Every structure is written in structure tokens, then in C-alpha cells.
Amino acid sequence: MIYKKTKIVCTIGPAVGTVDKICELIDAGMDAARFNFSHGTHSEHSLYIDNVREAGKLKNKMIAVIQDLSGPKIRVGLLENGSIFLKENQMIKITSQSITGSSQMFSTNYFNLINDVKKDEMILLDDGNLKLRVISIHSSESYIECEIINGGLLKEHKGINLPNTNLNLPSLTKKDMEDLDFGLEKGIDFVAMSFVRKAEDIKLLRDIIHSKGKSIPIIAKIERPEAVVNIDSIIAETDVIMVARGDMGVEISTEEVPLIQKRIIRKCNEAITPVITATQMLESMIENPTPTRAEASDIANSILDGTDCVMLSAETSTGAYPVLAVRTMTKIILKTETIKKTNYFTEMFVEDSPENTLHTICNSATEIATRVNAKAIITITHTGKSPLLLSNHRPAAQIISATFDDTIIKKCKLIWGVESILIKQSDDYIETVQSIKKEILESKILNEGDRIVIIAPMPFLQSESANMIQVTQL
């Protein structure tokens, strides 16, 4: 059995919406399915989610479902004939009034634009391909006048980015709330929040989810400069971080993005928070059957940085080679994971850590597994804490999380190196170990005679976290 440790998140769309195609994605290495609510209808997403679950049953593999909320995206309004051409050094007006735009003036869906922007601030259009500079603000007439710095064709509904502006935007839009209600009804496993600016945004979403009687892990998407500044408090508040390099690359200088990515991943590793690296990882494979060498290096370097997951967007949702893109990513992951990074992660765990006992158990299990040549470390968990901590020690042995709760299995889908098995509830340790061994052999995860290391809470399932290590054989 091919066993990769870095997880793959695939965006589901028209190119891979059928059960058969999703089965192919699972065979190729998909661990979690992302649904981008910036596109598609509820009925389309409902069908795709059902198909993911059906494919998971057919392949006997649980696939986590991630709902990615649109967030407060600022966009260009309607334009004459669908597009206008902006000429460099000329002037153009932007209004918050509802009009059909022309080469003299166009509208935006952000009504507070006139109140928020200041003279000389930059306005970026269409992912930064076009650039404007604010020359004057005319509040009484509801428009601003801008100089066109970088011109070109502007299509309606394209994105607007304001990298220098402190925005007075809501964290969640009316559409987000409607989409969230839909997602909770469908039983999503994770919800991703777009354009997070501060920890309070995550708290707001969590409170809303709790008010609906649910408890869903939140993924904070880091896209705006403000989020980078507040990264420590955001990491402390959220469950998972996504380094969303698309909008980040528009609002932050391109040359800064690689270093910011490395810094965020390192901070997530230190905080024991799973992290996803996303956007343009295999962008060329939207149209071509092979990646660029730079894309292969990008994936490899993200893994070496310490990312838990890598993500594909349009490559799988609408691309011409979705399954091949996942296979390619899996090959790059497997090759990169042959490199051993000794003492890179264990050095982060300090003596005064409140989780020091569990860290010590995980570190000892990692060292013991290496010395006895164990094929896997089994962690028996009822909270999901021990597989997360064990993952951060980056053991060479496979990590298998044994649990009685399928929600923990889904949470582990975004954690580096963790495979999970569902076992029957039992209060007896010896009986549980026999059940685990039986499941591992029947699933052909490991072979008879393989040595394994087990960590578990003692008294069994009464202690909060693992505090016992056993070496045994299948």
C-alpha cells in the first residue's frame, strides 16, 4: 500500500463531480474535498457532497468535506458589453451607486469604498493585473476619481483588492450565513473562513456555529496583510490555518509571499495547529498534462517547510487533467518524504509546555519506533489530541489513530502522517488492542509480523491523554 504523509485537498467542481471521477481522485491520493462557495449553487454542491460520500463508501475511505465560504469579496459591477478597456495615465471614476459601467465610470458592490479609501492609496483589479491610484474623493457625489497606472481589459464582476486600506467590512456576508446554514445541514466536517483579519472574526463564526447547536472545526484563510500582522492570535483561536496565496499575492508584494508562507507554517508547527498550503500549486496542469519544474519545487518546499496539507483548486475543479494532477502531486510528495529532517520538530517543544507529558510520550514513542524498527505508532484516542501532537514529531513510522468516533477520523484528515481506523467501543485495553490488530490486518495497512508501538491513556480511556507506551507485534 502506498502511504504518503502529507495530505491532499482537492476542490470539487464540474470536472470531477461524478462518483466515478471522485473514486479516481481517491485512488490518486485525495484525503479531503473542498467546496468553493464562491461558485456553484446549493443544489450543485449538494450533489457533489453526496457523490464524495458515496465514493468514500465505495473505496472504504472516509473523505473530509470542507466548506469554503466566499467571504466579503469586493467586486466590479456590471459593465457595458461585459468589459471595458482602461488606458494608462487616463482617469476613471468608481461609484458605489448601481450603474452599468463604462470607460468613464464603473461601480462596485462595496458601498463603504468612498468612506474607507484615502488619497494616493492603490486599488488593484483582476488579481492585480490592473492598478489604479486614488486621486480624489467626492463623498457627496458617491464616487472616487483614480489614475490608471496599469491598464488593460477589465471584465465585469472581477475582484477588487485594496492592499493599503483599512476596510470596514463585515466578517460574514448574508450569502455566507445562508451558505453556512446549508453546509451545516449537509454535515460538513470543516468550514473555511475567507479574508480573516483578526482572531475576533474566528470567534464570531464559532459563536454562530455553536448557536446552531453544532461544533465544526474552522479553517482560517490567511489572505490579507492585516491577517499576517495578527497571525499569532489567529493561530491561537482557529483549528486549522490555510496559507491562501492567491489573494495574498495580490495584496502583498510577490517577493514577500514565500517568506511569509515559511513563517506561518513554522508558527503553526510550533502551535501544533494543522496548516494547508494552497493556490497555484500545479496551476499549469489546468491546461497541460505535466507540471513546471518550479511547481514541483513549490510543492516539495512546502512539505519541507512543514505543511500538513497541499491543496489543488482549479486544477481539479475545472481543469483538463484533474486525476493526473493529483497523481502528480502524490508522486512529488512521496519523493520529498524520503528526506528525513532529524530534530527539526522536536526542538520546538520546551520543558515548560503545558502539554509536556504528552509531548514526552510522543517523542519517546517516535524514538522507540525508530530503534525497534516499528512499522507504525498506534495512538488510541477519544479526543484527537495525541495524533495531532504525535504528528508534529514527524516520526518515520506510520501514525495510525484508533478511535471510536468517526468525527475524530475526519479531523485527522488534515493532519500530517495520520491514518485512522474506526474501532468498536470498549473499556478493556487488551480487547481494544486485539480489535486494532484485526482491523489493521484486514485493511492490509500492515502485515502480520510487523512490529508496532502503541500509546494510550491509562487508566484506559479515563486519563485525559496518552501516558503509556507498549511495543508489540501484529
Catalytic residues: 34, 75, 221, 279
In terms of Cβ atoms closer than 10 Å to its own Cβ (0-12, 13-18, 19+), residue 322 is buried
- Contact predicate 125/162, CB 8 Å: no
Q: Residue 334 to residues 29, 90, 96, 289, 470: CA-CA distances in angstroms?
A: 11, 52, 50, 19, 29
In this structure, what C-alpha cell is assigned to residue 17? 463531480
- Contact predicate 441/474, CB 8 Å: yes
Beta-bridge mates of residue 105: 93
In this structure, what C-alpha cell is assigned to residue 194? 475567507
d(CA 53, CA 63): 7
Instruction: Quickly list H helices, 106-173.
Output: 113-116
Question: Of 62, 462, 66, 465, nearest to 272 (Cα)?
Answer: 465
In this structure, what C-alpha cell is assigned to residue 276? 494547508
Q: What are phi and psi of 303, to 5 degrees?
A: -65, -45
Angle of the 19-28 helix axis to the 42-58 helix axis, nearest 10: 60
d(CA 256, CA 152): 25
Residue 132, SS3? strand
